[in-house]
Structure 1
Amino acid sequence: MSALIMESVSAPAVATSEALWGGVGIGSMFVGGLYVLGNRRLVACHWNRDHPQVIMDRIRAVFITCVVVACLLSWLFLQRGVVTRVATRLLQSSTTHQPASELDALLAIFGLHWLAPARRMLMATTWPLLHTMLLFLGPLVVRWQDYRERMANYDADEHPSYGHTHRWRIRLRNYVVGPLSEEFVFRACLGALFAQTALSTTSIVFLSSWLFGLAHVHHAWEMYAKTRTQKNALRIALARTGFQLAYCTVFGSYVMLLFLRTGHLIGPILSHAFCNIMGLPDCSRLRTADGRWDIGMLTVHLLGVLLFIMTASTLLDASLYHSIYWH
C-alpha cells in the first residue's frame, strides 16, 4: 500500500477509478494543450517541432497545463482531507516540532519541501542525480574522451558564433522546461493523486510510467506528417515511436521511484535533465576501429551498471529523506 494510505485507518481519500480517470485526463490535458494552443503554428511551420515559434507556443502551453492541474489537485486534496493528513505527518517528522501550514503541506504533496532541513534538501538534490550518473558512467567517459579530442583539434576560426541561432530555445525546451513540466505533471501530480488510493507502490509506478510513455505517442503523428511524402514514412514513424514508448515507460518507472522514495521533486527533475543531455548510449563505442571489443570501455560501462544496482538501497534509502510516500 502507498505510505499515505497505510498510515490512515480511514478509507482512501480517492477511489482508484477516480484516480485512473484523473490520470488519463491529466495526461490528455498535457498533450492536448500542445496542439490546442499551437497546432496552427505547427502546421504553418511544416510540422517542425524545433521551429522557434512552435517551441515558445508549447512552453506557454505546458505552463498553463501545469497551473491548471496543480489548482485542480490542490482543491481535491483540500476537500478530501489529504492536506490535513500530510500536515500531521510533517509535524511528526519535523526537527523543530513546528506545525505545518496548509501551504507547507500542499507543497510537500507535490514534492516541494521548501522548509526541509538543508542537509535533507542537499541529499534530495544530489544523491538521486549521482545514482543516475552512475548508470551513465560509460557514456560519461566517452563524452570526456570526445571533449579532449575536440579541444586538442580546436580551431577558433573554424567555429563561427552561434549567437544568432535559435539553438538556445531547443536547449531551453529539452533541458529546462521539458524536465520541469513533465516531472511536475507525471511524477508530482500523478504520484500524489495515485498515492491517495488503495493502489500499491508497484501499481503507482507501473500506471504512471505507462501514462508517461503514452503521452509521447503523439510524436508518431508529427513525424509522419513531416515525412509523409517519403517511402515507408508511416512504418518508420511507428517504429521510432514504439521504441520511444518503451524507453519513456522504463525511464518513467525509474524517476517515479525516485519521487516516491525521496518525496522530493528536485531529484527527478535533475535526473531527467541529465538523461536528456546524455541521450542514448552510443553502443558503437564499445568496439575498436577494427571491430574488436574494447575491453576497457566495456568494463567501464558494466561497472557503471553494477554501481547503479549496488548503490540503489543506499543512495535512495527512503528513511534518509522522510518521504511521505514511502513507509
Structure 2
Amino acid sequence: MSEPDTLQSLFNHWSPAGISSHPTQPPISTRTASLLIALYALVYFVPFYFSRTARPSPTLSRDAPSVIRARIGSVTVSCAVCCAATYLVLAQTASASVPEVLHLMGVWPPALVDGARALLLTALLFLGPLYSYLVVDDGWRSWLALEPLRELWEEWTFWRNYVAGPITEEILYRSASIPLMVAAQAPVKETIFLSPVLFGLSHFHHFYEFRLTHPQVPWAAAVARSVFQLTYTTLFGAYATFIFVRTGSLPAVCAVHAFCNAMGLPRLWGRVRRPWEWEAAPGQRSSLLWSVGYYVLLVVGAVSWYRNLWALTESGNALVSPEAFLPK
C-alpha cells in the first residue's frame, strides 16, 4: 500500500461528511484542533511584544532591521514548538508513524513537480500583473542583472517578505495546523474556508503597530485598512490551504505565498504606463495599448486559473481523496 493510501486509510479518507459517516471515533475533536490552531496563531506573534528588540514603538518601525531580525528569530522558535506539538498529537493520539506525520505535514515527499504546477496555476491568476512588471516596467532587465537576488541578501524587508515570512507562516498555518484538522476528520470544506480565518486574524495586530507609528491617520481609515488586510489574508489562507491539501506539499504553498507577496494585489482600474510616462508633460497621454494588453491578460489569466484549478492541483501526494470535495 502506498503512503497516501495508508494515510487515507488511517483517517478514513477525510470525507466531507466528517465523522458522522464513519464508525471510527477521530483521535481528537474538531474543537480541540481549532483551539490548538488558535493557540499557534498566538504563539506566532504574541512573543513579539515580550521583547524590547522585537516590540515596535513610535520611534521604532516594524521595518527596522533590528526588529525584523528579532522577529525572524522569534517565529523560528515558535514554528519549531508548534511543529513539535503537532507531531506529538499525531504520534500519540492518532498513532501515526514518522513517515505518515511527515506526509501530513507536507514535508516528505516534497512533491516538487506538483508544487511547480501549483505555482504555474497561481501565475495564471497574475498574468496581467506579470505582463505589467516584466514587459511594461521592463522588470526582465532587473532579473537579467540579478538585482532581485542582490536585494534578497542586502535588504531585511525583502528577506522578511519573500523568504522568512512565507516559509514560517506556511509552516505554522499549513504544515503544523492542517494535519490537526485531518486527524479530527473535520469536513474538508470547513478546513479550507474557516481555519484560514485564524491566519487572517493573526495579521490584525498590524493595526496596533500601524496606529503606533502613524498616529496622524484617522481611526476609521486605520480600521478600514486592517479589515481590508484581514479579508485578503483570509482569502489567501483559504487558497493556500486548498493547494496544501490537494498537493500535500509544504514547498508548494511556500513558493505560492512568496510569489503572491511579490506580486501584491492586481491593479483593477486606471491606466498602465511605461515608467517614464509617469513623468511626462501634463498634456501628454500615454499609449492605450499597454492598458488594453494588461486588462485583456488579467481577464484571460483569471479565466485560465479557474479552468485549471483542479487539473493543476491534482496530485497523488494529496492529503485528501478527490471524493472529499464532492457535495454530500
TM range (shorter): 0.7 to 0.9
The residue that corresponds to 1:324 in the other structure is 319
Deviation at 1:42, TM superposition (A): 3.1
Candidates 295, 300, 311, aligned match of 1:298: 295
The residue that corresponds to 1:237 in the other structure is 222
Deviation at 1:113, TM superposition (A): 1.3
Pair 1:110-2:97 in alignment = no
Q: For residues 150-169 of structure 1, what are the alpha-carbon distances to aligned partners after superposition, in whole Å with 9 as ceiling and x for unaligned?
A: 959xxx9xxxxxx8999521
Task: Give the TM-score, by structure 1 length.
Answer: 0.80
Q: Matched residue of 2:266: which SS?
A: coil
Corresponding letter in the other structure for 2:190: S
| Contact 1:129 1:267 (8 Å CA) reproduced | yes
Pair 1:16-2:22 in alignment = no
Distance, in Å, in 1 between the alignment partners of 2:74 and 2:37 is 18
Candidates 185, 190, 196, aligned match of 2:172: 185
Distance, in Å, in 2 between the alignment partners of 1:304 and 1:111 is 28
Pair 1:268-2:253 in alignment = yes
Pair 1:31-2:16 in alignment = no
Corresponding letter in the other structure for 1:235: A
Q: CA separation of 1:296/1:66 partners in 2, compared to 1, >3 Å: closer, same or farther? A: same
Q: Matched residue of 2:320: which SS?
A: coil
Corresponding letter in the other structure for 1:64: V
Pair 1:250-2:240 in alignment = no
Candidates 303, 312, 315, aligned match of 2:309: 312
Deviation at 1:128, TM superposition (A): 0.5
Candidates 82, 93, 104, aligned match of 1:69: 82
Distance, in Å, in 2 between the alignment partners of 1:61 and 1:176 is 15
Distance, in Å, in 1 between the alignment partners of 2:119 and 2:98 is 27
Deviation at 1:19, TM superposition (A): 1.1
Distance, in Å, in 2 between the alignment partners of 1:124 and 1:168 is 31
Q: For residues 109-132 of structure 1, what are the alpha-carbon distances to aligned partners after superposition, in whole Å with 9 as ceiling and x for unaligned?
A: 210114x6xxxx342221010000
Distance, in Å, in 1 between the alignment partners of 2:58 and 2:124 is 40
Pair 1:133-2:123 in alignment = yes
Deviation at 1:75, TM superposition (A): 1.0
Greater mean deviation of Cα atoms: 268-277 or 41-50: 41-50
Deviation at 1:145, TM superposition (A): 2.2
Deviation at 1:171, TM superposition (A): 1.2
Q: Matched residue of 1:321: which SS?
A: coil
Distance, in Å, in 2 between the alignment partners of 1:68 and 1:56 is 19
Greater mean deviation of Cα atoms: 187-196 or 8-17: 8-17
Distance, in Å, in 2 between the alignment partners of 1:235 and 1:216 is 18
Distance, in Å, in 2 between the alignment partners of 1:185 and 1:310 is 30
Distance, in Å, in 2 between the alignment partners of 1:305 and 1:165 is 29
Deviation at 1:31, TM superposition (A): 1.6
Candidates 5, 30, 39, aligned match of 2:11: 5
Q: For residues 35-68 of structure 1, what are the alpha-carbon distances to aligned partners after superposition, in whole Å with 9 as ceiling and x for unaligned?
A: 22x3455345724011010000000010000110
Task: Give the TM-score, by structure 2 length.
Answer: 0.80
| Contact 2:112 2:249 (8 Å CA) reproduced | no
Corresponding letter in the other structure for 1:207: L
Root mean square deviation of aligned Cα: 2.9
Q: Matched residue of 1:203: which SS?
A: helix
Q: CA separation of 1:189/1:41 partners in 2, compared to 1, >3 Å: closer, same or farther? A: closer
Q: Matched residue of 2:173: which SS?
A: helix
Percent identical residues: 28
| Contact 2:244 2:253 (8 Å CA) reproduced | yes
| Contact 2:65 2:156 (8 Å CA) reproduced | yes
Deviation at 1:106, TM superposition (A): 2.2
- Structure 1 gaps of 5+ residues are 84-101, 157-162
Distance, in Å, in 2 between the alignment partners of 1:181 and 1:215 is 13
Distance, in Å, in 2 between the alignment partners of 1:195 and 1:222 is 34
Pair 1:205-2:192 in alignment = yes
Q: CA separation of 1:249/1:41 partners in 2, compared to 1, >3 Å: closer, same or farther? A: closer
The residue that corresponds to 1:95 in the other structure is none
Q: CA separation of 1:143/1:164 partners in 2, compared to 1, >3 Å: closer, same or farther? A: closer
Corresponding letter in the other structure for 1:54: V
Q: CA separation of 1:165/1:212 partners in 2, compared to 1, >3 Å: closer, same or farther? A: closer
